[in-house]
Amino acid sequence: MSLFQTRAWQDAWWKFWGDTPGFRRIDLFPGGNDLYIDHYRLKNVLPVSCLQFVGTSYRRISTPRTEYNGFDGNQRPPLDRLQWSEAVFADMVDGSDDVAWLLVLARAHGWPVRRVATDIAYAIDTLGDFAEYLASLGKGTRLRLFNRRSVLEQCGDVMIDNWWPENPDGFFELLNRFHLERWGQPCFNATSTAFHLEFLRQIEQEGGTPELSVLSVAGQPVSVLYNVWYQKTVYNLQAGYIENLHKKIALGTLHLGYSIEAAFANPGARLFDMLAGGGKNEDYKARLATRQLPLVSLMLVRNPVFKALYWLKDFRDRKREHGTSGV
């Protein structure tokens, strides 16, 4: 079970977004992701009943991303007995038993399956030796991740502190400020920040360890990493840093290097998971990762009207891909 299937993540997500008009949670059994049905009208006309994982929302609202979604393999939900017009199961591991089960079930019931999104999650195996891992990287990547520490130290005393549990509010203020300066908008709005604070308070009860890592140079915080240790995996959920501290330093990657090294040094850690998503200027995760995990979001279509509409949409999309007009 991943961090995203914990009660801490699932219940905190529902606490802050479960009261969205049209949402109805389905109580089945523990294990895997919880499910809910979102009732709404597409373009204010067509009624939709969309079955999906708690922690995800197709079309309607934007929330922190929930990855590695799936079902309890020993007790999967009776999808054929639930009332839905379409089902969207986001960010599942492609090729997993859960995906295979969905495809078989859909074929048996005549439900068309659409791949509505794909992505790649990146991780680093930390059971080996950190020096060997560094040696396996390209010269430029190794420079940014580790070798430029001496340059950073020339800028002033380097300190790395965990601001949990003493100052989580200050940590998220820093994260939002760094993102605002770099991306033009904060990382989390007020609701999402409250969600993460609630999740962090609860995850400790399930054996998780929050790590709100703040790297300071000469007493000034310059970089933050939002990590959570859970079941031998370090999940890196977010990062932020100031730009142009030094022209030779990739500050975010350098801070990541300290955190990765700590995971290698901890005998209880086996994986440093950077999750899905890319960087602003480069695909740095692909350069650092020792394993890649493909993710897929599948839509199952049950309603006959929706089947026809999606067939027409997919037909037109294929026509455009081949450079011809649709009908």
Q: Is residue 278 part of a domain?
A: no
pLDDT of res. 324: 52
Q: Are residues 30 and 101 in the same domain?
A: yes
Tell me the angle at which helices 190-203 and 168-183 cross, rounded to the nearest 10 degrees: 140
Mean pLDDT within 41-61: 95
Q: Is residue 314 part of a domain?
A: yes
Containing domain of residue 92, as a range? 3-120+294-321
Question: Domain of 190: which CATH number?
Answer: 3.40.630.30
| Triad 199, 203, 209: Cα angle to 5° | 115
Write down the residue that tokens 């890319």 correspond to.
278
Q: Are residues 105 and 19 in the same domain?
A: yes
Mean pLDDT, the chain, integer: 94
pTM of the model: 0.94
Within 10 angstroms of residue 54's Cβ, the number of other Cβ atoms is 23
pLDDT of res. 327: 32
pLDDT of res. 30: 65
CB 51 within 8 A of CB 79: yes
Domains of the chain: total: 2
Encode pLDDT of 109-166 as tens digits.
Answer: 999 999 999 999 999 999 999 999 999 999 999 999 999 999 999 999 999 999 999 9
Within 10 angstroms of residue 241's Cβ, the number of other Cβ atoms is 25
For 227, the token pair is 């990590």
Q: Are residues 116 and 131 in the same domain?
A: no
Q: Are residues 137 and 231 in the same domain?
A: yes
Q: Is residue 279 part of a domain?
A: no
| Residues paired with residue 124 on neighbouring β-strands, in sequence order | 272
Whether 76 has a pLDDT exceeding 80, the answer reads yes
pLDDT of res. 216: 98
